[in-house]
Amino acid sequence: MIPVAEFKQFTEQQPAFKVLKPWWDVLAEYLTVAMLMIGVFGCTLQVTQDKIICLPSHEPRENLSEAPCQQLLPRGVSEQMGDLRELSGLKNNLDLQQYSFINQLCYETALHWYAKYFPYLVVIHTLIFMVCTSFWFKFPGTSSKIEHFISILGKCFDSPWTTRALSEVSGENNKGPTAGRATATVAAAAGPGPGKTGEGEKEKVLAEPEKVVTEPPAVTLLDKKEGEQAKALFEKVKKFRVHVEEGDILYTMYIRQTVLKVFKFFAILVYNLVYVEKISFLVACRVETSEVTGYASFCCNHTKAHLFSKLAFCYISFVCVYGITCLYTLYWLFHRPLKEYSFRSVREDTGMNDIPDVKNDFAFMLHLIDEYDSLYSKRFAVFLSEVSESRLKQLNLNHEWTPEKLRQKLQRNARGHLELALCMLPGLPDTVFELSEIEALRLEAICDISFPPGLSQLVNLQELSLLHSPAKLPFSSQIFLRDRLKVMCVKCEELREVPLWVFGLRGLEELHLEGLFAPELARAATLESLRELKQLKVLSLRSNAGKVPASVTDVAGHLQRLSLHNDGARLLALNSIKKLVVLRELELVACGLERIPHAIFSLGALQELDLQDNHLRSIEEILSFQHCRKLVTLKLWHNQIAYVPEHVRKLRGLEQLYLSHNKLETLPTQLGLCSSLRLLDVSHNGLRSLPPDVGLLQNLQHLALSYNALEALPEELFFCRKLRILLLGYNHLSQLSPHVAALRALSRLELKGNRLEALPEELGNCTGLKKGGLLVEDTLYEGLPPEVRERMEEE
């Protein structure tokens, strides 16, 4: 006999595919097995037993037109058809080979094709049904998606994170009226446990009825490895969703194979009902074999006709049931929108309101999963929720960034605060808020920060920096920071991304903002109101503003330092700064200024002005600085200034003057009348000489002349007895005057990059100068007398 296992290859599928088989596909599969057994059984009988047995008919030749087997019908039938001559015990004088010849000949010519090939037809049709049912599991365009989906589905079902997420939701829902329902659902969902569950265990879990528990389920703990696996699952689900939602090939293939099965069903049913009566027990056979056997008419017995007729009726019954399941499948496919899937019930049960609805093939597979067990889609939905993903990221962060590890990153910043700096993390670890000693928190390139209520544990926090790190602050935390935070730094792509809660921190003393105005808003340069910042003293704005934001006047009564860095964009309107009556420091860096703005001269309290990196060519307006009687520091570096006007002498109160990185070739002699000058920086210019009047600067302590073209120094320079730092590097000096010995307070002297052949031994009289403060070539240093070197090398 032919074993049924030989046909297994036609229906062999991965066991995991059963989750995509609804009940009608399972029933159809059992029906095809039953029909296949009918066909195989009939084929086996057809092959192993005699197919037909024939005997010659002794009817006279003139009666050959009548059926040769009428006399062999049952007696009751014979009496109705008339009296027939009874024959018995006739000798046919045929040997065995002649009988075999007649049997084969009559089987091929007299037996109806349906009766002849019935079992083979059953096998062929059943195999076609099997192929139609499983074709979408084998077709390359669909099988890859199905295998990927089943793989992800199984991992999501077994993931410990699924159990934890649903358990947390259940714990929250237990406080409400739906606690019983949510707890029962999670009890079933948490069955597999944190480890991997085998197929048999999964079926056991799904088979057990849900049990109502009275206590909230315990939240399982995830180790680092399990957290990383769950994180990878989220990424796989995202990519799979994008890939599968693009088309509907699975849905289309399933419809096509179902429609094909329906047409096949109708065709089989029709021709079987028409031809089933052709299976008869007696068959009349007329063949021209009289020359070989002596007979031309035979009466044959189809030995398996009775059995085949019974099998045919059974087969037709199974086909009818199979067809009904196919028709129901079509009804299910077309009476509801299977290309859309809503997680509304899951959102209601779990409280994860951000679980998105899906479409196309993704939706169709989830509908099939629901027909198998809706618990699968519920556990799978956890990995579609961004809230769930953020919780997982938070958990992984907390595992990775322990309080001990964070404490190792604590350092003192420029303000002397104990600072924790975190950069390029997927989120903000909750463990940060266990370090109550933090005074400054710097967060850079961290996306979607949401400060938890635990922020209130940072009782020493005074400084917060958000660099490309958008942050949400709940109202309770706003109240906590409102009077406590002193320094706030925000850096973003556009200034409109600055969180609004920043402008409500009324205890803020320093606010540093960096970002661009949108092109259409740059000229207006509108900034949020600063009225709430009653204690703001320092405001720094780095942007592309076309004018000083009008809201700056909101803090005019107490703002002491204003810094505007425009990155080269031209600042056109500065009139609003006239209202800053208590402003002490003003920085206008890279603002495209060609002249010193007249509005600055109205700032009577101004002490420091920085006009770095502009386009200043002339500073004739410097005379007007005499109205700024408190001005002590003037920074005009990194411009294109070609000369300094003589009326610089009017700035008698000036203590620091920065003119480096300009185009100066000479300095006015009147510069010596700035008697209060303590620092003069004219490095990186084209100076060829210094005026002797520089010796009048008796309070000068710092003089920077590096990177010029000086060939000699005036002797009067060494009258500046308070000089501590003298930078002469990279000039054209050929010698250093012995009068340098008069500079006894000198502690730093730079001479590198000159044309010096030797150093004067009088350097030994500069008691404050040590080897570390003397920047010179090693050969020149070695040329000093040994006693001078020894003194310089003394501690």
Q: Does the structure show a pLDDT above 60 at 448?
A: yes
Angle between helices 249-275 and 360-372 (to 10 degrees): 60
Instruction: Determine the pLDDT at residue 80.
Output: 42
Write the pLDDT tens digit of every residue in 109-161.
888 888 888 888 999 999 998 888 888 888 888 888 888 888 888 888 888 77
The DSSP H or E segment spanning 349 is helix 344-350
Q: Does the structure show a pLDDT above 60 at 220?
A: no
Question: Which stretch of 220-224, 297-301, 548-552, 608-612 has the lowest confidence by average pLDDT?
Answer: 220-224
- Beta carbons of 715 and 693 less than 8 angstroms apart: no
Rounded-to-integer distance, Cα 300 and Cα 321, Å: 35
Instruction: Determine the pLDDT at residue 405.
Output: 92
Write the pLDDT tens digit of every residue in 544-555.
888 888 888 888
Q: Does the structure show a pLDDT above 90 at 54?
A: no
Instruction: Determine the pLDDT at residue 532.
Output: 86
Rounded-to-integer distance, Cα 659 and Cα 664, Å: 9
Write the pLDDT tens digit of every residue in 55-64.
887 665 555 4
Longest dimension (CA), the chain: 162
Rounded-to-integer distance, Cα 172 and Cα 183, Å: 10
Q: With cut-offs at 50, 70 and 90, classify the pLDDT of residue 751.
A: very high
The total of other beta-carbon atoms located within 10 Å of residue 20's CB is: 22
| CA distances in angstroms from 683 to 457, 596, 665, 709, 710, listed in the order given | 50, 21, 11, 10, 11
Rounded-to-integer distance, Cα 138 and Cα 355, Å: 31
- Most confident region among 318-322, 355-359, 569-573 by mean pLDDT: 318-322
Q: Does the structure show a pLDDT above 50 at 435?
A: yes
- Beta carbons of 753 and 732 less than 8 angstroms apart: no
Q: Mean pLDDT, to the nearest integer, of 411-417?
A: 91
Q: Give the residue extent of every domain in the chain.
A: 1-58+94-168+223-398, 650-664+676-794
- Strand ranges inside 425-554, DSSP E: 440-444, 449-450, 463-467, 471-472, 487-494, 510-516, 538-542
In the chain, the amino acid numbered 203 is E
Q: Does the structure show a pLDDT above 90 at 539?
A: yes
Rounded-to-integer distance, Cα 611 and Cα 565, Å: 10
In the chain, the amino acid numbered 563 is S
The CA-based angle 17-163-214, given to 5 degrees, is: 120
Q: Coil, helix or strand for 556?
A: coil
Instruction: Determine the pLDDT at residue 83.
Output: 46
Q: What percent of the chain has a predicted confidence (pLDDT) above 90?
A: 38
| CA distances in angstroms from 41 to 47, 115, 275, 304, listed in the order given | 10, 15, 20, 12
Q: Coil, helix or strand for 588?
A: strand
Q: With cut-offs at 50, 70 and 90, classify the pLDDT of residue 91.
A: low
Rounded-to-integer distance, Cα 34 and Cα 23, Å: 17
519 vs 10, residue with greater confidence: 519
What superfamily would CATH give domain 650-664+676-794? Ribonuclease Inhibitor (3.80.10.10)
In the chain, the amino acid numbered 177 is P
Q: How many CA atoms lie within 13 A of 594 on its CB side?
A: 2
Q: Does the structure show a pLDDT above 80 at 51?
A: no
Q: Does the structure show a pLDDT above 50 at 458?
A: yes
- Beta carbons of 454 and 480 less than 8 angstroms apart: no
> Average per-residue pLDDT in the chain?
83
Rounded-to-integer distance, Cα 459 and Cα 441, Å: 12
Write the pLDDT tens digit of every residue in 358-380.
889 888 888 988 888 888 888 88
236-242 long-range contacts (CB < 8 A, ≥24 apart) are 236/152, 237/152, 237/156, 237/380, 237/383, 237/384, 240/148, 240/149, 240/152, 240/362, 241/358, 241/362, 241/384
Q: Does the structure show a pLDDT above 60 at 13?
A: no
